[in-house]
Amino acid sequence: MNFKSISFFALSILLLTSMELPVALTINQSSSQKKIKTLTLSIQPLFLNKKLILNDKIYSYSNSKKISIETLKFYITNIRFFEKNKMVFSEQSSFHLLDSDNPKSMNIKLSVPQALSYDSIQLGLGVDSTAHVGPMTGDLDPTKGMYWTWKGGYINLKLEGYIDGIRSRKNEFQYHIGGYQFGENCYQEINLSIYNKKASTINIGLELHDFIQNLDLVKQSHIMSPGAEAVLLSSQLVKCFKIIKK
């Protein structure tokens, strides 16, 4: 430590001690605290309506093309509940990084009011970097590999794997979708109607077949920066989320 920082530290301590400390805030222990319940959003990646299996499983799409998925990571943010188009609940600091490699991360546990009544939910796909996201901690920790730079912001979704016949090294494809600046904003909202309003788990499927079907992965094996393609893919991605009725 150098002298400059030591002296700065000494000065700060002095200034702090000469100030009045604020009275500790009393926490409002209202009775409504008891009326909280846990609601789980379980997001399940699917391939042709079946649970997606990573790595070894080889899937077919577009008749005969073969694909296997190695990585699927994405952000679900700004979770909101609606009733008759009016917002009735929104989760605070709502940032969740979902990683198919980590099944626990695919279940988002929410604390909602016991009496919450809703008919639809809205989820953000990706991190809306145009808004202030607050401290870069927890799922927003930039060392988790989902952050580009100030210019690119957060990566909303990573999808990586292998495709037969693709003209890339080891038949590999890598899609890193994100971007927040003007003309490059990939943040999207998913709106889903809820039928079973009493269930303690809302099951949501992400049908990857529908997404992959639209891609020309053989021609374009990599998307790894913000731009028009990433924006187009994001708008297609949100359509692949659906409520699974169990």
Partner 1 sequence: MKKYIFITVIIFITLTSWVLIEEVYFIVPENWPQPVYDFKQNKLTKEKIELGRILFYDPILSKNNKISCASCHSSFGAFAHVDHALSHGIYDSIGTRNVPGLMNLAWQPAFRWDGGIDNLDEFSIMPLTHPKEMGEQMNSIVSKLNQSAFYKSLFFQSYQDSVISKEKLLKSLSQFLLTLVSYNAKYDSVMRKQASFTKQESNGYQIFKANCNVCHQEPLFTNFSFQNNGLPMDSTLNDYGRFLVTQNTVDSFLFKVPTLRNIEYTFPYMHDGRFKKLSEVIKHYNSGIISYSTLSSSLQKKISLTTNDKIDLIAFLMTLSDRTFVFNPDFQFPKQLLTN
Q: How far, in Å, are 92, 161, 164, 194 from residue 169 at the CA level?
A: 43, 12, 11, 43
Beta carbon nearer to partner 1, 135 or 245: 135
> What is the DSSP secondary-structure string of 4-65?
HHHHHHHHHHHHHHTSPPPPPPPP---GGGGGEEEEEEEEEEEETTEE---TT--EEETTTE
Per DSSP, 245 falls in state P
Q: Is residue 3 at the binding interface for partner 1, with CB under 8 A as the rule?
A: yes
Alpha carbon distance 173, 165 (integer Å): 11
Min CB(15)–partner 1 separation in Å: 8
| End-to-end Cα distance, the chain | 61
Which residue from 7, 32, 111, 117 is in contact with partner 1, where contact means CB under 8 A? 7
Q: Is residue 2 at the binding interface for partner 1, with CB under 8 A as the rule?
A: yes
Site string for partner 1, 85-124 (x = CB under 8 A): ----------------------------------------
Site residues (CB under 8 A) for partner 1, limited to 70-89: 71
> What is the DSSP secondary-structure string of 97-124?
EEETT-GGGGEEEEEEETT---SEEEEE
**By three-state DSSP, how is residue 125 classified?**
strand
Run of H or E residues at 228: helix 228-237
Q: Is residue 31 at the binding interface for partner 1, with CB under 8 A as the rule?
A: no
Q: Is residue 18 at the binding interface for partner 1, with CB under 8 A as the rule?
A: yes
Beta carbon nearer to partner 1, 192 or 231: 231
Q: Is residue 26 at the binding interface for partner 1, with CB under 8 A as the rule?
A: no
Site residues (CB under 8 A) for partner 1, limited to 134-193: 142-143, 145, 147-150, 158, 169-170, 176
Site string for partner 1, 221-240 (x = CB under 8 A): -xxxx---------------
Q: Is residue 218 at the binding interface for partner 1, with CB under 8 A as the rule?
A: no
**By three-state DSSP, how is residue 156 classified?**
strand
Min CB(158)–partner 1 separation in Å: 7
Task: List residues near partner 1 by CB under 8 A.
Answer: 2-4, 7-8, 10-11, 14, 18, 71, 142-143, 145, 147-150, 158, 169-170, 176, 222-225
